[in-house]
Chains A and B, each alone.
Chain A
Amino acid sequence: MRHRTNFLIRYALPWAIFGVAFVLLGAFQIWPTVRGSTFGPVLPYHTTNSYLISLLKIRDGSERLQRALAALPADRPVAVLLPKDDERWIFVGYLIGYFAWPREVQIAPLTKLNAAHELHALDRDSLGGIFFAGFPPPPGFSPALSIGAGLTMVPKMVNAEPAP
């Protein structure tokens, strides 16, 4: 009897209190996430599309990026120009890199100070296309294809190829 009481006081009661407090605290954090979840959609680009909905305000962002990239030469790098230290556009740049394989992706963060220099320094002949993320392409960069809110692609024009 004494052994049983001792066990209850030393082990069962403290651990029961801990267990209840632990479950309650955890459940308060977890429940809103579980309650707010909806299953699916069952799509091949489940993840990237859900990111691009919030980043570019489009529902089929992955497919659009795939289509845009498919129109570019596979053996030439693409450039992504984006505002420096802007997490949103850096992530968009990474997603372009995700879809652009096997092309090299040159990500160039721009500031107000270096923008003109970086644009001038672009070797446009060697690039398959240029993405402008977070700002529109400056005059002289055309044709400009809009992919989503704030993202524009300027493909290398076939007639801009240097003559053989």
Chain B
Amino acid sequence: MIFLGVLGALLTLLAAGFGLTLLLLRGRAQINLLEAAALAWLFGSGAISLFLWGGGLVAKGAPLQLGITALAVFFAAYGAIEARRRQVKFYFPKPRHPIEWILAGAIALEGAIIFFSAGSHGLGWDGLLNWEVKARYAFLNDGVIPAAYYHSASRAYTHPGYPLLIPLTELWFYRWMGEINQFFIKLIFPLYYAAGAILLATAGTRLTNRRWPGLAASALLFFVPALTSAPGDAAGGYADFPLGVLYLCSFAYLLLFSKSGAAFDLRVFAIATALLPWAKREGAILWFVAVLCGAAILWRRREKLPAYLWLLPGLFVILAWKLFLHFMHPAEGVEFLPLSLATVSGNLPRLGPIFRMALGEMLETTRWSLFWPGLTIAFLYLAVGMRDRRFFILAFAVGTPLVVYSAAYLLSAWPDYSLHLGASFSRLLLHVMPVGWLAIALAVSGSAAASPPPDNPDQSQNR
């Protein structure tokens, strides 16, 4: 019975996501099934969690679940009808050379290990007490997070003000399973890993016009220990890696848009960017960075004003969530002091130690292997060796959050800010790490732009 529940939750979520993906990709003549499946997972979990939150303001229990299931089916049907009407061709990108077979096989094996790992270890501390706990309380309250939870001072340690992408996706599974199940809920985190690996491979392919750089970056992703064998890893139930995958999706499609000028790439960028602040608070910073880069590319491409409207959906998410919290008055522990000139100037002596500790974390091979030195070399290749203008976008995408995150510890309210940094900084690095792999894929490809596209990714990029 519980398997049927998992299947029902998964299928309805993917149906909603697939329908949305097909609508967003309207205008694309050929659609890579793997890419569509990865986007379907990201957008499906985003849509279902937003529906649960919005719908939960007016309904609960079976009517809420049935209503959202009907919406999911509607999106799937509408997307399918649109795709049929436009005679979209779906294709599965089969490997064609031994290298591609080896890399694709490695990616599949790594995904299987992440699934195995998810079934072996429990949720991490934050995975349980910041995220899953909200799904639990909502399940016990007939599908809606109880209003009393938000201002319960004794639950401030669960951060009631955190956004709800992960908890409400978990809730969707609990509703379908008919019970709270800490084992099966871990299934959703390897799916974020799979989506990230697929998007890295497909975006890497489309951006470099070669398959192997994207496949290689995707295969190497697994070997970052922070992602596979550290607290807060991809299977630990934390929101950090899902946020990183959304950020990867956002920048991958922004770069694709800058290359193709296709509206469907801009739309996927817009929706992935809009979901950033819904995954974690820091997502608002990432959203701002992505919007700045999006605006710069729209401006450089001399796009008209309506195109800029695609930068706004994330703002609606941020404002709606802020408004909701304004009425809920969530109880929160104090992690950071309010931003003021006096606080910043008073804590300026922290700057040197923060820089040293942040650098030390990035050079910690037990958590990052050689990822950060490799990324630095990749940026040098892109900037100096290849004079690739995408360097500016990718360096801004990776560098700005790192600077902002590090600077935030100037405002740390912990008695020892170095403990605060040690406890959280490595997980914050996961937000930008997948985008870093995209930069490595571009750098590794060398002079790849001269080669023809490998699997005919949409030459008919009509608007």
Residues of A within 8 A of B (CB): 7, 10-12, 14-15, 18-19, 21-23, 25-27, 29-30, 32-34, 37-48, 50-51, 77, 91, 94, 97-98, 101-102, 104-107
Q: Residue of B at shortest CB range from A21?
A: B370
Chain B neighbourhood of A7, CB < 8 A: 446-447
Known contacts A97-B155, A104-B152; A23/B117 CB under 8 A: no
B96-132: CB near A (< 8 Å → 1, else 0) gives 0000000000000000010011011111010111001
Whether B154 and A104, one on each chain, are in contact in the complex, defined by CB atoms closer than 8 angstroms, is: yes
Neighbouring A residues of B365 by C-beta, 8 Å: 25, 29
Q: List, in ascending order, chain B residues with CB within 8 A of A47's CB.
A: 122-123, 127-128, 132, 182-183, 237
Q: Is the interface of A mostly helix, strand, loop or mixed?
A: helix
Give the tally of cross-chain contacts (CB within 8 A): 125
Proximity bits, B179-211, A CB within 8 Å = 1, else 0:
111111010000000000000000000000000
B157 touches A97 (CB 8 A): yes
Q: How distant is the Cα of A77 from the Cα of B148 in the complex, in angstroms?
A: 14
Q: What residues make up the interface of B, taking CB atoms closer than 8 Å to A? A: 113, 116-117, 119-123, 125, 127-129, 132-133, 136-137, 140, 146, 148-149, 152-155, 157-158, 179-184, 186, 216, 220, 222-225, 228-229, 237, 365-367, 369-371, 374, 377, 381, 385, 443-444, 446-447
Give bound CA distance, A98 to B157, whole Å.
11
A107 to B353, CA, bound (A): 34
Say whether B154 contacts A22, CB under 8 Å: no
Which residues of chain A come closer than 8 Å to B146, judged between CB atoms?
102
Q: Tell me whether A40 and B119 are in contact (CB under 8 A).
A: yes
How close is A12's CB to chain B, nearest CB, in angstroms? 8
Q: Is the CB of A48 within 8 A of B155?
A: no
Q: Which residues of B contact A45 (CB under 8 A)?
A: 182
- How far is it, in angstroms, between the C-alpha of A104 and the C-alpha of B148 when the chains are bound? 10
Given contacts A11-B444, A98-B128, whether A46 and B223 have CB atoms under 8 Å apart is no
Query: What is the minimal beta-carbon distance from A39 to any residue of chain B, in angstroms?
Result: 5
The answer for the CA separation of A34 and B112 in the assembled complex, in Å, is: 12
Among A18, A37, A106, contact of B116 (Cβ-Cβ < 8 Å): A37
Select which of A25, A29, A41 is within 8 A of B229 by beta carbon: A29
| Among B121, B179, B370, B381, contact of A22 (Cβ-Cβ < 8 Å) | B370
Answer whether A44 and B183 are a contact pair too, CB < 8 Å, given A37-B120, A39-B116, A98-B133.
yes
Q: Which residue of B lies closest to A44 (CB)?
A: B181
A15 to B443, CA, bound (A): 9
